[in-house]
């Protein structure tokens, strides 16, 4: 004797186990709702279904049935033939429009795209990489200074953690740096007005500019 195989999702199986517990009176309906994240009203509906149909009461009724919205193979073949014969160079959007305008076949652009790709009439366009345009460096020393802080145990656990504040002059690429105990507005402004500024002013490029 062959037994029917019932396909269930994990969620449906968990629901059945909890609902079965309520039927055995091991779990109250309020507790079942709390466990499953459902209202007591919904739990009562599920209990009624299981009483009437058993485990099948929790399985979705459309499982195993073909979708009513699924397109027939004959229509798919017809659409592919029309596009291949009359609109092979069209995009999926334009092909879908012509199918409706001239052939009274209403189909979504996405479905047309999938049919065209299956028939070799359309390829997914590659995204063009945007050309990276390098910004020109500033013409004068000190005109633009970029800064950042690097947090690291620079003293190798022989002292406190420090932040290395680094400064790069955009025009020359020269690097200046200085240690601080934290990263913030004060270290940034202090370095700009003191060592970095003095280094810039003492440089030949600055004097000659």
CB 88 within 8 A of CB 79: no
Q: What angle do CA 88, 112, 96 make, to 5 degrees?
A: 75
For residues 93 and 114, what is the distance between their CA atoms, to the nearest angstrom?
12
DSSP assignment string, 66-123? PPTTPPPHHHHHHHHHHHHHH-TTS-HHHHHHHHHHHH-----HHHHHHHHHHTTS--
Structure tokens at 84: 């291949």
CB 79 within 8 A of CB 112: yes
> Does the structure show a pLDDT above 60 at 40?
yes
> Does the structure show a pLDDT above 80 at 26?
yes
For the chain, how big is the Rg over CA atoms in Å? 36
For residues 79 and 113, what is the distance between their CA atoms, to the nearest angstrom?
11
The residues near 121 (Cβ < 8 Å, ≥ 6 apart) are 80, 83, 84, 88
CB 177 within 8 A of CB 167: yes
Q: What is the per-residue pLDDT for 36?
A: 80
How do residues 170-197 score in pLDDT, each as one tens digit?
A: 888 877 778 888 887 777 777 665 555 5
> Does the structure show a pLDDT above 50 at 39?
yes
Confidence band of 206 (pLDDT split at 50, 70, 90): very low
Mean per-residue pLDDT over the chain, rounded:
78
Q: What angle do CA 129, 131, 134 make, to 5 degrees?
A: 145
> Does the structure show a pLDDT above 50 at 208?
no
> Does the structure show a pLDDT above 70 at 156?
yes
Structure tokens at 67: 């979708």
Lowest mean pLDDT among 55-64, 106-115, 120-129, 143-152: 55-64
How do residues 77-119 score in pLDDT, each as one tens digit?
A: 999 999 999 998 999 999 999 999 999 888 888 999 999 998 8
CA 146 to chain centre: 32
More confident call, 147 vs 77: 77
CB 110 within 8 A of CB 73: no
Mean pLDDT to the nearest integer, 142-147: 78
Mean pLDDT to the nearest integer, 39-50: 85
For residues 33 and 47, what is the distance between their CA atoms, to the nearest angstrom?
11
> Does the structure show a pLDDT above 70 at 65?
no
């Amino acid at each position: 004797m062959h037994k029917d195989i019932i396909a269930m999702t994990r969620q449906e199986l968990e629901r059945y186990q909890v609902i079965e517990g309520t039927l055995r009176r091991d779990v109250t309906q309020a507790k079942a709702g709390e466990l499953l994240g459902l209202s007591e009203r919904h739990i009562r509906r599920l209990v009624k279904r299981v009483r009437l149909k058993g485990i099948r009461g929790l399985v979705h009724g459309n499982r195993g049935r073909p979708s009513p919205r699924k397109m027939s193979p004959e229509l798919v073949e017809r659409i592919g033939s029309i596009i291949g014969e009359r609109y092979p160079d069209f995009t999926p959007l334009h092909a879908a429009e012509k199918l409706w305008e001239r052939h009274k076949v209403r189909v979504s652009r996405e479905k047309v795209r999938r049919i065209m790709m299956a028939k070799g009439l359309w390829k997914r366009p590659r995204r063009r990489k945007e050309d990276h345009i390098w910004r020109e460096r500033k013409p004068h020393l000190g005109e633009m200074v970029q800064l950042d802080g690097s947090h690291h145990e620079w003293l190798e656990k022989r002292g406190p953690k420090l932040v290395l504040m680094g400064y790069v002059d955009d025009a020359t690429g020269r690097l200046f740096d200085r240690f601080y105990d934290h990263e913030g507005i004060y270290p940034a402004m202090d370095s700009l007005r003191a060592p970095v500024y003095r280094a810039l002013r003492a440089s030949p490029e600055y004097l000659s500019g």
